[in-house]
Amino acid sequence: MKQAILAAEDVRFYEHSGVDYIGVARAAISNVLSSQVKQGASTITQQVAKNFFLSSERSFSRKFNEILLAFKIEHNLSKDKILELYFNQIYLGQRAYGFAAAAQTYFGKNLEQLSVAEMAMLAGLPKAPSAYNPVANPNRAKQRQEYVIRRMREFKFISDEQMQLAKAEKLHVLRSPVTFSSDALYVAEMVRQVMYDRYKEAAYTQGFKVYTTVDKTHQDAAYAAVRKGIQEYDRRHGYRGPEATVEIAADVTDDQLDDELQKVNDAGDLVPAIVLSVNTKSVSAHLKDGETISINGNGLKFAQRNLTDKVNPANKITRGSIIRVQRDDKGNWAITQLPQVETAFVAVDPNNGAIRALIGGFDFSRNNFNHVTQAWRQPGSSFKPFIYSAAIDKGFTPQSVINDAPLAIDPATIGGQHWEPKNYDGTFSGPITLRNALTKSKNLVSIRILMAITPQYAQEYITRFGFDPKNHPPYLTMALGAGSVTPLQMAGGYAVFANGGYRVTPYFIDRIEDGKGNVLAKTQPEEAGKNAKQVIDPRNAFIMTSIMSDVVRRGTAAKAMTLGRGDLAGKTGTTNDQYDAWFAGFQRNLVAVSWMGYDQPRSLGNAETGGQAALPIWIGYMGKALKGEPEFKPVIPEGVVAKPLETENGTIVDYFYEEFQQTNPELGVDSGTSPAQVQEEVKDMLF
């Protein structure tokens, strides 16, 4: 294998000092004559420098930096160590990094089992993994393989007889390559970080096996829902134009087109392509694997305006434009684009905290920042249930009446800023029950509730759900979710409601084994009802779940009724100017949180609320994750009284703490205090 790699990539590897001057001179002459950077003459050392430290940009400055780094690498590492790094880290297509992984991916074999012909096929991949992929492009892969075989003979790595046998050998490439786990690259990186922290460099060499809590069905469902939801959002806001434009000659070759496309990162099924010809009815484009495709009809609809002169020339699709295309289930291609907006999605088992699905962003290769664990964002109204839970703890009931009306705020109570809070729709409902206020996400009611229970009490209370009080200053803005949370924190917080009031810690590693299967470490999770701490009254969790069920049935998350289930609950969230869109929701055995926003905060758009942008992702996931799951029928906890009530919409049943059922509904104070005693002190806060 080593000889095949040297023959294909750098036959003078053991002779040069990191740079092949003959190759550099040849490439320089070609580049000067063409006024473009087309040839690189990169040695294996230079490729290591590029892969570990540099971008794939093609420019003279990047090439210069690559050469400098190559010299430094040669000075500090042995030739064998450099080759080892290359051997184990180079990308070879089909998500295979390194030749050992590629041998399994394409042939289902270990390296020592490969024939010369198979080795030559793999050795031909580094130059253009997509173009020479034997699965997607067998003809070009065969041509490249034969080139490597000839080079191996030229430099006497094999005999004439071996060359002829290798050329004649019929390869059995796995037509359906090794089935990869669903897109879980963010999870894989989390695992890598934990393993390195625990085992240092041994994590990469000792053959550890790490088993996670992530479930493939759940992860697949989350990935599909996230991609669909983000692209639907992107389509609502229009096509921006090509990613770039390159000059291509009339007699351009496939290899030259492939070289240009190698600079462009893949993004799942959003495939980069170079436009060869274009008119308002049809676009012809070249893909990385060498295929030429035709796009027409509905496939042009998204970018139709950019095929005309009605747009800025920089945004027009022309010959040489680099665009993204996507194939539908029927095999038809359509123009699409890489979204600029980001996302996070996480699903947790509320019974023990096991993470079942985690998507840290739209595409790991483009942005490896994990928005589930690292993005601190304002939760908006999705934080209100924690404030309402504190109010229930203080004696409020679902039928407590609070005035939804304009409120004058003393600047001193919000940190010295001028603030005139409003409801999202700009209207006011007047006296409204606590249940209906959360269902309709009434901001003014949330503020009045927080005034009544005090921000200081709420700040302490939310620690029961795992939130750090330092990130939630004790001001009235806390009522509207002005603090900072991560999506993973929100999942942990909502798990408390789902499991009946127990605090469980989300985790993702089930166990670690050595190469022989011996268990080195195993997580012992906190389990609700067993060893997990009870942090809120189970009656509180039951009543809050009942209220949040109304959010799904008839409130801001009513779209979720398309799932046809009666055991769902949750809360939407939208921050000021639509910078963040949230939906956090649950079924008894599954909590999921969806977030959407820009890394550099800016508005998602006037209509892009949590119910519009984040909720559809949650629905898409839950529809698959809960398939076949029986509908959960909750049992009313001891100490909760169910009372029929007459309302303007007919008779309803609501739930009360046994000791609070006679509470003055207009004040929400506990039964041990006479309403007359406290009426004057809280009247102004509630009304």
Q: Which residues are catalytic?
A: 9, 381
Say which residues have a Cβ less than 8 Å from residue 585's Cβ, sequence separation at least 6.
494, 548, 552, 557, 560, 568, 569, 570, 571, 591, 592, 593, 618, 622
Q: What is the DSSP string of 199-253?
A: HGGGGGTS--EEEES--HHHHHHHHHHHHHHHHHHHHHT-----SEE----TT--
34 C-beta neighbours (distance < 10 Å), count: 12
- Bridge partners (DSSP) of residue 403 are 431
Token pair 């009611």 is at which residue?
A: 445
SS3 of 239-257: CCCCCEECCCCCCCCHHHH
* Alpha helix ranges (H) inside 502-614: 538-554
Candidates 490, 494, 538, 498; CA nearest to 392 is: 538
- Give me the sheet containing 519-522, strands edge to edge: 209-212, 509-513, 519-522
Q: Which residues are CB-contacts of 556 (< 8 A; sequence separation ≥ 6)?
A: 381, 439, 440, 441, 571, 572, 609, 610, 611
- Looking from the CA of 675 toward its CB, the CA atoms found within 13 Å total 12
The number of angstroms, rounded, from the C-alpha of 664 to the middle of its chain's C-alpha atoms is 47
Backbone phi, then psi, for 417, in 5-degree steps? -100, 150
Backbone angles phi and psi of 431, in degrees to 5 = -55, 130
The amino acid sitting at 668 is: G
Using CA atoms, how far apart are residues 107 and 30, in angstroms rounded to an integer?
A: 37
Beta bridge partners of 283: 278, 295
**How many angstroms separate the CA atoms of 617 and 345, rounded?**
8
Place of tokens 């270990």: 110
- The set of long-range contacts for 64-72, using a CB threshold of 8 Å and a minimum separation of 24, is 66/42, 67/18, 67/19, 67/24, 70/18, 70/19, 70/43, 70/45, 70/46, 71/17, 71/18, 71/19
Q: Rounded to whole angstroms, how far apart are CA atoms 223 and 359?
A: 7
Rounded alpha-carbon distances, angstroms, from residue 325 to 97, 157, 278, 298: 25, 42, 14, 13
**Structure token pair of residue 86:** 């290359």
Measured between alpha carbons, how far is 10 from 18 in angstroms, rounded to an integer? 10
Reduced to 3 states (helix: H, G, I; strand: E, B; else coil), residue 530 is: coil
Residues contacting 174, CB < 8 A, separation 6+: 105, 106, 107, 108, 135
